[in-house]
Chains A and B, each alone.
Chain A
Amino acid sequence: MSQVIHHDEHYDPEGSKIGMWLFIFTELLLFGGLFIVYSVYRYMNPDAFHLAAEELNTTVGALNTVILLISSMTIAMSTTALQKKQKATTIVLLEITFMLALIFLVNKYFEWGVKFDHGIFPGSEFMKAEMSQGEVLFFGLYFVMTGLHALHIIAGLVIMGFALARVQKGTVHADRPSLLENAGLYWHLVDLIWIFLFPLFYLIT
Protein backbone atom coordinates (compact mmCIF):
# COMPACT_ATOMS: atom_id res chain seq x y z
CA MET A 1 0.00 0.00 0.00
CA SER A 2 1.46 3.28 -1.08
CA GLN A 3 1.09 6.22 1.29
CA VAL A 4 0.81 8.69 -1.56
CA ILE A 5 -2.77 9.59 -2.35
CA HIS A 6 -3.54 10.45 -5.95
CA HIS A 7 -6.95 12.02 -6.12
CA ASP A 8 -7.43 11.28 -9.78
CA GLU A 9 -6.68 7.61 -9.18
CA HIS A 10 -9.21 7.13 -6.42
CA TYR A 11 -10.56 3.63 -6.74
CA ASP A 12 -13.02 1.95 -4.40
CA PRO A 13 -14.32 -1.30 -5.91
CA GLU A 14 -16.53 -2.12 -2.95
CA GLY A 15 -18.10 1.35 -2.90
CA SER A 16 -18.72 1.13 -6.65
CA LYS A 17 -20.38 -2.24 -6.26
CA ILE A 18 -22.66 -1.04 -3.43
CA GLY A 19 -23.60 2.01 -5.49
CA MET A 20 -24.44 -0.15 -8.48
CA TRP A 21 -26.55 -2.52 -6.41
CA LEU A 22 -28.47 0.37 -4.79
CA PHE A 23 -29.21 1.70 -8.28
CA ILE A 24 -30.30 -1.79 -9.37
CA PHE A 25 -32.70 -1.93 -6.40
CA THR A 26 -34.40 1.26 -7.59
CA GLU A 27 -34.68 -0.24 -11.07
CA LEU A 28 -36.12 -3.49 -9.72
CA LEU A 29 -38.76 -1.58 -7.78
CA LEU A 30 -39.56 0.62 -10.79
CA PHE A 31 -40.27 -2.41 -12.96
CA GLY A 32 -41.76 -4.21 -9.94
CA GLY A 33 -44.37 -1.45 -9.67
CA LEU A 34 -45.22 -1.88 -13.35
CA PHE A 35 -45.50 -5.65 -12.88
CA ILE A 36 -48.01 -5.05 -10.08
CA VAL A 37 -50.04 -2.72 -12.33
CA TYR A 38 -49.98 -5.45 -14.99
CA SER A 39 -51.06 -8.17 -12.52
CA VAL A 40 -53.95 -6.15 -11.11
CA TYR A 41 -55.27 -5.22 -14.57
CA ARG A 42 -54.86 -8.83 -15.70
CA TYR A 43 -56.81 -9.95 -12.61
CA MET A 44 -59.56 -7.46 -13.44
CA ASN A 45 -59.68 -8.15 -17.22
CA PRO A 46 -58.69 -11.83 -17.66
CA ASP A 47 -60.52 -12.37 -20.97
CA ALA A 48 -59.36 -9.17 -22.65
CA PHE A 49 -55.74 -9.88 -21.62
CA HIS A 50 -56.04 -13.41 -22.97
CA LEU A 51 -57.35 -12.13 -26.29
CA ALA A 52 -54.77 -9.36 -26.62
CA ALA A 53 -51.81 -11.57 -25.71
CA GLU A 54 -52.67 -13.85 -28.63
CA GLU A 55 -51.67 -10.95 -30.92
CA LEU A 56 -48.05 -11.06 -29.76
CA ASN A 57 -45.52 -13.09 -31.70
CA THR A 58 -44.07 -15.74 -29.37
CA THR A 59 -41.31 -16.64 -31.84
CA VAL A 60 -39.91 -13.09 -31.88
CA GLY A 61 -40.21 -12.94 -28.09
CA ALA A 62 -38.43 -16.29 -27.68
CA LEU A 63 -35.70 -15.25 -30.13
CA ASN A 64 -35.09 -12.05 -28.16
CA THR A 65 -34.99 -14.06 -24.93
CA VAL A 66 -32.29 -16.34 -26.36
CA ILE A 67 -30.33 -13.31 -27.63
CA LEU A 68 -30.42 -11.60 -24.23
CA LEU A 69 -29.48 -14.77 -22.35
CA ILE A 70 -26.47 -15.35 -24.61
CA SER A 71 -25.42 -11.69 -24.31
CA SER A 72 -25.63 -12.00 -20.52
CA MET A 73 -23.22 -14.92 -20.69
CA THR A 74 -20.76 -13.16 -22.99
CA ILE A 75 -20.55 -10.04 -20.78
CA ALA A 76 -20.09 -12.25 -17.69
CA MET A 77 -17.32 -14.09 -19.54
CA SER A 78 -15.67 -10.79 -20.48
CA THR A 79 -15.18 -10.09 -16.74
CA THR A 80 -13.47 -13.46 -16.38
CA ALA A 81 -11.28 -12.70 -19.39
CA LEU A 82 -10.32 -9.32 -17.89
CA GLN A 83 -9.37 -10.93 -14.58
CA LYS A 84 -7.30 -13.50 -16.46
CA LYS A 85 -5.54 -10.56 -18.17
CA GLN A 86 -6.77 -11.66 -21.62
CA LYS A 87 -7.40 -8.19 -23.02
CA ALA A 88 -8.17 -9.27 -26.60
CA THR A 89 -10.73 -11.85 -25.43
CA THR A 90 -12.34 -9.28 -23.13
CA ILE A 91 -12.78 -6.89 -26.04
CA VAL A 92 -14.15 -9.54 -28.41
CA LEU A 93 -16.65 -10.77 -25.79
CA LEU A 94 -17.78 -7.19 -25.11
CA GLU A 95 -18.19 -6.55 -28.83
CA ILE A 96 -20.28 -9.70 -29.20
CA THR A 97 -22.49 -8.53 -26.31
CA PHE A 98 -22.83 -5.12 -27.99
CA MET A 99 -23.83 -6.72 -31.31
CA LEU A 100 -26.38 -9.00 -29.61
CA ALA A 101 -27.92 -5.96 -27.90
CA LEU A 102 -28.22 -4.24 -31.29
CA ILE A 103 -29.85 -7.34 -32.81
CA PHE A 104 -32.35 -7.33 -29.92
CA LEU A 105 -33.27 -3.73 -30.74
CA VAL A 106 -33.61 -4.48 -34.47
CA ASN A 107 -36.01 -7.34 -33.64
CA LYS A 108 -37.95 -5.01 -31.37
CA TYR A 109 -38.13 -2.44 -34.18
CA PHE A 110 -39.67 -4.95 -36.57
CA GLU A 111 -41.95 -6.37 -33.88
CA TRP A 112 -43.31 -2.93 -33.02
CA GLY A 113 -43.46 -2.06 -36.73
CA VAL A 114 -45.84 -4.97 -37.38
CA LYS A 115 -48.02 -3.80 -34.47
CA PHE A 116 -48.09 -0.24 -35.87
CA ASP A 117 -49.08 -1.59 -39.30
CA HIS A 118 -51.99 -3.41 -37.67
CA GLY A 119 -53.09 -0.12 -36.12
CA ILE A 120 -51.90 -1.11 -32.66
CA PHE A 121 -50.07 1.79 -31.03
CA PRO A 122 -50.81 4.13 -28.13
CA GLY A 123 -53.70 6.46 -28.98
CA SER A 124 -54.62 4.74 -32.23
CA GLU A 125 -58.16 5.31 -33.55
CA PHE A 126 -58.39 1.63 -34.53
CA MET A 127 -57.83 0.55 -30.93
CA LYS A 128 -60.39 3.03 -29.59
CA ALA A 129 -62.97 1.80 -32.11
CA GLU A 130 -62.31 -1.94 -32.19
CA MET A 131 -60.91 -2.95 -28.83
CA SER A 132 -62.28 -3.37 -25.33
CA GLN A 133 -60.92 -1.36 -22.40
CA GLY A 134 -58.94 -4.42 -21.21
CA GLU A 135 -57.21 -4.93 -24.55
CA VAL A 136 -56.27 -1.25 -24.72
CA LEU A 137 -54.81 -1.61 -21.21
CA PHE A 138 -52.83 -4.71 -22.25
CA PHE A 139 -51.25 -2.98 -25.23
CA GLY A 140 -50.66 0.19 -23.22
CA LEU A 141 -48.71 -1.83 -20.67
CA TYR A 142 -46.99 -3.79 -23.45
CA PHE A 143 -45.67 -0.61 -25.09
CA VAL A 144 -44.71 1.09 -21.81
CA MET A 145 -42.95 -1.92 -20.30
CA THR A 146 -41.15 -3.26 -23.38
CA GLY A 147 -40.42 0.36 -24.37
CA LEU A 148 -38.89 1.16 -20.98
CA HIS A 149 -36.95 -2.08 -21.22
CA ALA A 150 -35.70 -1.11 -24.69
CA LEU A 151 -34.55 2.24 -23.26
CA HIS A 152 -32.54 0.23 -20.74
CA ILE A 153 -31.02 -1.75 -23.60
CA ILE A 154 -29.95 1.54 -25.20
CA ALA A 155 -28.49 2.73 -21.87
CA GLY A 156 -26.72 -0.63 -21.60
CA LEU A 157 -25.21 -0.08 -25.06
CA VAL A 158 -23.85 3.32 -23.95
CA ILE A 159 -22.37 1.85 -20.75
CA MET A 160 -20.83 -1.04 -22.71
CA GLY A 161 -19.39 1.49 -25.15
CA PHE A 162 -17.64 3.27 -22.27
CA ALA A 163 -16.39 -0.02 -20.81
CA LEU A 164 -15.12 -1.10 -24.22
CA ALA A 165 -13.25 2.17 -24.75
CA ARG A 166 -11.70 2.04 -21.27
CA VAL A 167 -10.61 -1.59 -21.65
CA GLN A 168 -9.03 -0.74 -24.99
CA LYS A 169 -7.27 2.28 -23.47
CA GLY A 170 -6.06 0.09 -20.62
CA THR A 171 -7.62 2.13 -17.77
CA VAL A 172 -9.94 -0.79 -16.99
CA HIS A 173 -7.76 -3.83 -16.34
CA ALA A 174 -7.42 -6.85 -14.04
CA ASP A 175 -6.66 -4.66 -11.00
CA ARG A 176 -9.34 -2.06 -11.76
CA PRO A 177 -12.27 -4.03 -13.20
CA SER A 178 -15.12 -2.09 -11.52
CA LEU A 179 -16.44 -0.30 -14.61
CA LEU A 180 -16.68 -3.55 -16.55
CA GLU A 181 -18.17 -5.40 -13.57
CA ASN A 182 -20.80 -2.72 -13.07
CA ALA A 183 -21.58 -2.68 -16.80
CA GLY A 184 -22.08 -6.43 -16.44
CA LEU A 185 -24.37 -6.01 -13.40
CA TYR A 186 -26.47 -3.48 -15.33
CA TRP A 187 -26.70 -5.75 -18.35
CA HIS A 188 -27.78 -8.69 -16.17
CA LEU A 189 -30.49 -6.46 -14.68
CA VAL A 190 -31.79 -5.80 -18.21
CA ASP A 191 -31.77 -9.57 -18.77
CA LEU A 192 -33.50 -10.18 -15.42
CA ILE A 193 -36.38 -7.85 -16.32
CA TRP A 194 -36.83 -9.51 -19.71
CA ILE A 195 -36.97 -12.94 -18.01
CA PHE A 196 -40.27 -11.77 -16.44
CA LEU A 197 -41.53 -9.64 -19.35
CA PHE A 198 -41.31 -12.54 -21.81
CA PRO A 199 -43.63 -15.03 -20.05
CA LEU A 200 -46.04 -12.32 -18.84
CA PHE A 201 -46.64 -10.77 -22.25
CA TYR A 202 -45.82 -13.47 -24.79
CA LEU A 203 -46.40 -16.83 -23.11
CA ILE A 204 -49.36 -16.54 -20.75
CA THR A 205 -52.30 -16.18 -23.10
Chain B
Amino acid sequence: MENEKHHIVPYRIYAIILLLLLLLTFLSIAITNIELGAFTVAGALLLASIKSSLVLVYFMHLKFDKAYIQIMVGLVILLFIAVVLVTFFDYYFR
Protein backbone atom coordinates (compact mmCIF):
# COMPACT_ATOMS: atom_id res chain seq x y z
CA MET B 1 0.00 0.00 0.00
CA GLU B 2 2.94 2.37 0.53
CA ASN B 3 4.60 4.45 -2.19
CA GLU B 4 7.13 1.89 -3.24
CA LYS B 5 4.93 -1.19 -3.08
CA HIS B 6 2.92 -1.85 -6.20
CA HIS B 7 -0.18 -3.95 -6.31
CA ILE B 8 0.35 -6.66 -8.90
CA VAL B 9 -2.88 -7.44 -10.72
CA PRO B 10 -3.02 -11.10 -11.76
CA TYR B 11 -3.37 -11.90 -15.51
CA ARG B 12 -6.62 -13.71 -14.75
CA ILE B 13 -8.37 -10.50 -13.63
CA TYR B 14 -7.46 -8.76 -16.91
CA ALA B 15 -8.72 -11.73 -18.92
CA ILE B 16 -12.04 -11.70 -17.03
CA ILE B 17 -12.43 -7.95 -17.60
CA LEU B 18 -11.75 -8.40 -21.33
CA LEU B 19 -14.42 -11.12 -21.51
CA LEU B 20 -16.91 -8.83 -19.75
CA LEU B 21 -16.03 -5.95 -22.11
CA LEU B 22 -16.50 -8.16 -25.19
CA LEU B 23 -19.79 -9.48 -23.81
CA LEU B 24 -21.07 -5.92 -23.22
CA THR B 25 -19.94 -4.93 -26.73
CA PHE B 26 -21.94 -7.72 -28.35
CA LEU B 27 -24.86 -6.97 -26.05
CA SER B 28 -24.86 -3.33 -27.17
CA ILE B 29 -24.74 -4.39 -30.85
CA ALA B 30 -27.67 -6.73 -30.17
CA ILE B 31 -29.86 -4.18 -28.40
CA THR B 32 -29.25 -1.41 -30.95
CA ASN B 33 -30.43 -3.81 -33.67
CA ILE B 34 -33.84 -3.89 -32.01
CA GLU B 35 -35.98 -0.81 -32.57
CA LEU B 36 -36.50 0.64 -29.09
CA GLY B 37 -36.76 4.28 -30.09
CA ALA B 38 -35.25 6.62 -27.50
CA PHE B 39 -34.27 3.67 -25.34
CA THR B 40 -31.75 2.55 -27.96
CA VAL B 41 -29.62 5.64 -27.32
CA ALA B 42 -30.05 5.34 -23.54
CA GLY B 43 -29.23 1.61 -23.60
CA ALA B 44 -26.13 2.04 -25.77
CA LEU B 45 -24.86 4.89 -23.58
CA LEU B 46 -25.55 2.94 -20.39
CA LEU B 47 -23.60 -0.07 -21.69
CA ALA B 48 -20.77 2.23 -22.84
CA SER B 49 -20.67 3.77 -19.34
CA ILE B 50 -20.44 0.33 -17.72
CA LYS B 51 -17.66 -0.62 -20.13
CA SER B 52 -15.73 2.59 -19.47
CA SER B 53 -16.01 2.09 -15.69
CA LEU B 54 -14.53 -1.40 -16.08
CA VAL B 55 -11.64 0.09 -18.06
CA LEU B 56 -11.12 2.91 -15.53
CA VAL B 57 -11.36 0.73 -12.42
CA TYR B 58 -9.39 -2.34 -13.53
CA PHE B 59 -7.29 -1.58 -16.62
CA MET B 60 -6.37 1.90 -15.38
CA HIS B 61 -5.80 0.57 -11.84
CA LEU B 62 -8.11 3.09 -10.14
CA LYS B 63 -9.24 0.31 -7.78
CA PHE B 64 -5.68 0.06 -6.46
CA ASP B 65 -4.85 3.78 -6.56
CA LYS B 66 -4.90 6.21 -3.68
CA ALA B 67 -8.18 7.92 -2.84
CA TYR B 68 -7.15 11.35 -4.13
CA ILE B 69 -6.67 10.06 -7.68
CA GLN B 70 -10.07 8.34 -7.57
CA ILE B 71 -11.66 11.56 -6.29
CA MET B 72 -10.02 13.65 -9.03
CA VAL B 73 -11.30 11.29 -11.74
CA GLY B 74 -14.78 11.39 -10.18
CA LEU B 75 -14.73 15.20 -10.13
CA VAL B 76 -13.75 15.40 -13.81
CA ILE B 77 -16.62 13.05 -14.72
CA LEU B 78 -19.03 15.15 -12.63
CA LEU B 79 -17.74 18.31 -14.32
CA PHE B 80 -18.40 16.76 -17.73
CA ILE B 81 -21.91 15.64 -16.73
CA ALA B 82 -22.63 19.15 -15.39
CA VAL B 83 -21.55 20.74 -18.70
CA VAL B 84 -23.73 18.28 -20.65
CA LEU B 85 -26.74 19.06 -18.45
CA VAL B 86 -26.29 22.82 -18.69
CA THR B 87 -25.90 22.61 -22.48
CA PHE B 88 -29.04 20.52 -22.86
CA PHE B 89 -31.10 22.71 -20.53
CA ASP B 90 -30.12 25.58 -22.78
CA TYR B 91 -31.16 23.80 -26.00
CA TYR B 92 -34.24 22.16 -24.55
CA PHE B 93 -35.80 25.36 -23.20
CA ARG B 94 -34.98 27.57 -26.16
The chain A residues found within 8 Å of chain B, CB to CB, are 13-14, 17-18, 21, 25, 28-29, 32, 36, 39-40, 43-44, 58, 62, 65-66, 69-70, 72-73, 76-77, 79-80, 83-84, 177, 181, 184-185, 188, 191-192, 195-196, 198-200, 203-205
Contact = CB atoms under 8 A, between A and B. Distances in A.
Nearest to A22: B72
Nearest to A79: B9
Given A58-B29, A80-B8, 13 more contacts: A17-B65, A25-B76, A28-B80, A29-B80, A36-B87, A43-B91, A66-B22, A73-B17, A76-B9, A77-B11, A181-B61, A199-B32, A199-B45
Given A72-B59, A185-B60, A192-B55, A204 B18 contact: no
29 contacts: A17-B65, A18-B69, A21-B73, A25-B72, A25-B73, A29-B79, A32-B83, A36-B87, A39-B84, A39-B87, A39-B88, A40-B91, A44-B91, A66-B25, A69-B18, A72-B18, A72-B21, A73-B15, A73-B18, A73-B59, A76-B59, A77-B11, A83-B6, A185-B60, A192-B55, A198-B25, A199-B28, A200-B44, A203-B32
B56 to A, nearest CB: 7
Q: Count chain A CB atoms within 10 A of each CB in B41, B55, B60 and give the residue with the most.
A: B60
